[in-house]
Amino acid sequence: MLKISLIKLIFLSAIAIALSCISEGNGCTGRNRNPTEVVKIKTKRHLSQFNALFVLFFILSLFVAGCGNDEFTGATTDAGNDASADAKPDAQQQPDVVTDTTSDVQTDAAEDAMPETGIDADHDAAIDGAVKLVPGDLIKGATSGVYYYGEDSKRHLFPNEDTFYSWLTTDDFNLVKTIPDEQLAALPTGRDITIRPGTYLVKIQTDPKTYAITDCGHIHEIGSETIAIALYGTNWAQRVRDVPQSNWGQYALSAPITVPVHPDGQLITYAGDANRYVVMNGAKRKIASQAAYDVNRWQASFAIQTAIPYADGAPVTNYEPQNFWNIVCTP
C-alpha cells in the first residue's frame, strides 16, 4: 500500500510541474524574451509554482491520511482474524466433546439394557423371537423334526417317533419348544440320537438280522430265535423296529448275543416279586425306590418279566445318567 501511494505522489508531482511549465508559455525551454514577457512569465511562474505546491501539499495530506487508514484497517483485520482464529477452534471442539460423551453414554445405556437371550446375546438380539435354551430342552423349528439340545450346545435329532418315545413320553412331547428357524439353523448339528438300551430291538429293511441295543448305540445281533424267545418272550418280534437307512450309520456293531443274558440297561421283573431290577454287567441291580425309578426315566411298558436268574448287583439309589440316561454320546 505504501509503495502504491508513493508512485501516485511522484506521478501527480510530475503532472504539476508539467502544468507549471505549460502555464509559463514555454517557460521551460529557456529561450530569450523581452522584459515585458519576462515579467508576465515570472508572474505566471509564481502562480504556477504556488499551484504546484498547493497540489503537492494536498496530495501529501491525502497520502498521510491514506497510510494511517490502511494501517488501522490492517491492524483491525489482523486482530479480528487472530481473534477469530483463536476462538474458532474452541467453538468447534466443544460440540465434539459433547457429542462423544453423549455417544458413550448412549452406547453404555444400550449395552446395559440389552436383554439376556438363549445362546449368545449379540447373535440372539438379531433374531426376532429368539427363545432362551438350556441343556435338556426339546426343540423344533416351524416344520422341522424334534431335537434334543445337549450339554454340548448342539442340536441332536430324534430321527423318528420310535427313537423319541424310547427315551421320553407324550408328556415330554408337550414340552417341545418351537423356536425360529433362523435360531435353529444357527445351532451346530450334533450326532443323531439312537434308540435307548433296554427298549426296542432294531433292524433295517434290507437285512433280516435283529439287534439288541446297549449304551451309545452299540448293537448286538441276537444269534437265534431261541435266544430271542428266552430273552424277550414269544412276542419278541413285536419289539422290533426298523431303523431308517439314513440313520443306521449312527449305530456301532458290537459282539453278538449267543447266550440268554439280557444286554445292559434292560428293565426286568420276576413273578411274585414286587421289586424292579435293571441288568448291568450280567447282574441284576434292584431299583431301591420310586424316586430312583423316576429320576432315571424308566418306563414300565419296556419291562420284561423273566425267569433268568442273575446275581445281585449294587442297588440303584439315585440318578445314574452315565448308565441309564446317556441320551447324547458317541459309540
Residue 24 confidence (pLDDT): 46
Is the domain of 250 the same as that of 169?
A: no
Does the pLDDT of residue 78 top 50, yes or no?
no
Is the domain of 290 the same as that of 255?
A: yes
Number of domains in the chain: 2
Q: Is residue 260 part of a domain?
A: yes
Q: What is the CA radius of gyration of the chain?
A: 55
Q: Record the pTM.
A: 0.62
Q: Mean pLDDT over residues 273-282, rounded?
A: 97
Boundary-marking domain end, from 144, 159, 186: 186
Maximum distance among all alpha carbons in the chain?
177
pLDDT digit string, tens, across residues 225-260? 999 999 999 999 999 999 999 999 999 999 999 999
pLDDT digit string, tens, across residues 97-128? 333 333 343 434 334 433 333 445 455 556 87
d(CA 217, CA 329): 8
Exposure b/e, 93-108, CB count within 10 A at least 16 = b: eeeeeeeeeeeeeeee
Confidence category of residue 15, pLDDT binned at 50, 70, 90:
low
Boundary-marking domain end, from 132, 158, 186: 186
**Sequence-distant (≥ 6) Cβ neighbours of residue 5 within 8 angstroms:** 63, 66, 67
Is the domain of 248 the same as that of 152?
A: no
Choose among 298, 262, 303: nearest CA to 281: 262
Strands (E), 191-266: 201-204, 207-214, 218-221, 240-242, 252-253
Does the pLDDT of residue 3 top 50, yes or no?
no
Q: Mean pLDDT over residues 281-296, rounded?
A: 98
Q: Is residue 5 part of a domain?
A: no
Q: Is residue 247 part of a domain?
A: yes
Q: Is residue 131 part of a domain?
A: yes
Count Cα neighbours of 152 within 13 Å in the Cβ-side half-sphere. 12
Q: In percent, how much of the chain has pLDDT > 70?
A: 61
Q: Is residue 194 part of a domain?
A: no
Measured between alpha carbons, how far is residue 180 from residues 128, 140, 144 in Å? 8, 9, 11
Q: Is residue 134 part of a domain?
A: yes
- At 247, list the grid cell: 440313520
Q: Is residue 316 part of a domain?
A: yes
Boundary-marking domain end, from 186, 213, 230: 186
Q: Is residue 297 part of a domain?
A: yes
Does the pLDDT of residue 63 top 60, yes or no?
no
Is the domain of 205 the same as that of 128?
A: no
Choose among 123, 147, 143: nearest CA to 135: 147
Residue 29 confidence (pLDDT): 44
Q: Which domain holds residue 153?
A: 121-186
d(CA 314, CA 5): 121
